[in-house]
Amino acid sequence: MRILRGLVVLILLSAIPLVAQSKNTPAGGSAPDDEAVRGGTASYETGNVLKWETHTYSQSAHIIRDHPVYWIRIGNITYQIARRSREVEMQSGQLVECRVDKGHVFVRTAKGRETKYDILGME
């Protein structure tokens, strides 16, 4: 049990630099505008799935499982996203219609339904 708790803490701590880095202005560049960070975009944009990997991901402290984590580039921001499903739902190189809203990325399926993903980090 202690090893499991230590693993959860390690995973959570490893995600902090991604979020902190996205809020800082990179050298020689500009930071994303406030609307992009807050996720105020309501219209759909075309996103490119850069890659996916299986990572340990949990939305609660009690259940930890391996889930696919996706890297999607929308505009000039790359989002690291995941959800509770253990199935691989997108492939590298796939173009998807998506929107960012209140800390989540919503991906529109071929049938027009939305799938909600949590944002784990931004680059």
Angstrom distance (rounded) from CA 66 to CA 88? 11
pLDDT band, residue 59 (cuts 50/70/90): low
Dump pLDDT digits (tens) for 8-48: 444 444 544 444 444 443 444 444 444 444 444 458 999 99
User: Which residue did the predictor score with more confidence, 103 or 38?
Assistant: 103
Q: What is the CATH number of domain 2-122?
A: 2.40.50
- The CB-side HSE value for 120 (13 A sphere, CA atoms) comes to 22
> pTM for the complete prediction?
0.60
